[in-house]
Chain A
Amino acid sequence: MTAIQAIIDGPGTLLMLAIGGLLLYLGIRKKYEPLLLVPIAFGLVLANLPGGGMGVVPAELVQIDEHHYMNLFEIAHEYGIMNFVYYSLIKTGFLPPIIFMGVGALTDFGPMLRNLRLAFFGAAAQIGIFTVLVSAILMGFTPGEAASLGIIGGADGPTAIYTTIKLAPHLLGPIAIAAYSYMALVPVIVPLVTRLTCSEKELRINMKEMDKLYPPKYTIKNLKAVKIAFPIVLGIVISIFVPSSVPLLGMLLFGNLIKEVGVTVARLSDAATGSIMNTATIFLGLAVGATMTAEVFLDVKTIMIIVGGFIAFAISIAGGIVAVKVYNMIAKKKINPLIGATGLSAVPMASRVANEIAIKYDPKNHVLQYCMASNISGVIGSAVAAGVLISFLG
């Protein structure tokens, strides 16, 4: 009776349950990033079931004074286990770097090391983040909110969540939904932007033919040694230049190192990509979903985030394409613009989609390895961009 009364009192609850149902449908039936969308959607449903006490409460309720918060036992006792999970694992910024460790252990830097100059296009594709940041401030968002909105353009879920936790935690739900939804829609967005910005002639540029015409200066004689040294050296250098990006990139590179070391630490690599990553994903998804109560989610800002996120995503793809076009104007060795389109993260889906587009125009033109080079550098680029935003506004 109490629950029914709560639904009558707040019809927003019904709308939220419908949104939860829609997200579950997209995750289960349409397979849109199901590993995250299903826990997020179910967390949303749990948070909005009247009387369940599973919704995440605003930070002000757990704050005692300016520098003191309730301890975790008090939070669990007062507001339930979901708040315990949120304030211990999410609000502290713990889970996104843990997921990044798993991503690192699944990432192969080989394609990037074989085509290092293509890494620059991963930088160009971060333009969407900063363009939308400026636009969002013009539309009335605070700098922290605008930065969290812009980072969706990096197409990297854990980075978007980590940045939002640091800069605008009240927007965590809608930003996570937008980030993961657009990542799931990469097979739609990349072809759309490519069609609008590239000519057929450009899309027919055959990378392997170009490699034959202009072969690389040297080959890698011991790829395994290079792959082991690379994350160690890069981790040290990045920690010197952009220390605020170290929680994400440091864990990414550590994960990659244990993958490359091989059998001697295979158990660590297996744990990072298996049990640890899966556990982190479950708690991250459920807790992010639980932040989306009707009072927080049903707001005009949510719609602006959904629209702004799409624009950030599209500009990032276009930014990478434009960078390739500019490069092609001055270089003899031409590059297929699809390699610029994959300069955003979303590994490896963006590369797979780009490869399919290339094959459509020329069945012999397999660009997957080249796209992976800019795609992986995009992961580094978006984490660096997040580090810059956090160091400015955090």
Chain B
Amino acid sequence: MNELGIAFEMMGVGMITVFVILALVVLLGNLIIRFVNKYIPEVVTQKVQPATVKSGGINPKKMAAIVSAVKTVTGGKGHVSKIEKL
């Protein structure tokens, strides 16, 4: 009987704790989003203008893929200025 009492206590405490923690997840998530939106909105990176990239006759789709890959790998800091076939 005592063990059953502990089980019900665990059920109550456990479910309340899970709800509280996930409520905190929601609250913290919202606070972080608001903070980031206000103080660190996305850094505007200079878009690579196709005209400025010397493509060396490379297919535009391939060029876009290379530019995108460089952006991903360098975290948006790298820019493609020239592409040439070796």
Contact = CB atoms under 8 A, between A and B. Distances in A.
A142 B6 CA distance: 11
A22 B35 CA distance: 54
Contact of A120 (B23, B32, B41): B23
Given A134-B4, A146-B7, A380 B22 contact: yes
A116 B24 CA distance: 11
Given A225-B36, A388-B17, A230 B28 contact: yes
A120 B17 CA distance: 12
Nearest to A376: B25
Contacts of A233: 28, 32
B37 A220 contact: yes
A265 B35 CA distance: 25
B7 A226 contact: no
Nearest to B8: A134
Given A221-B42, A263-B73, A241 B24 contact: yes
A237 B26 CA distance: 12
Interface stretch (A43-51, A100-108, A125-133): A125-133
A268 interface: no
Interface residues of B, number: 37
Contacts of B34: 218
Contacts, number: 128
Nearest to A377: B22
B51 interface: no
Nearest to B10: A392
A393 B34 CA distance: 39
Nearest to B40: A225
Given A262-B75, A263-B74, A229 B17 contact: no
A147 B10 contact: yes
Interface in B28-51: 28-30, 32-37, 40-43
A117 B30 CA distance: 10
A389 B14 contact: yes
Interface of A: 112-113, 116-117, 119-120, 122-123, 126-127, 129-131, 133-134, 137-138, 142-143, 146-147, 218, 220-222, 224-226, 229-230, 233-234, 237-238, 241-242, 262-264, 377, 380-381, 384-385, 388-389, 392-393
Given A229-B32, A237-B28, 8 more contacts: A112-B29, A123-B18, A134-B11, A221-B41, A241-B17, A241-B20, A384-B18, A388-B18
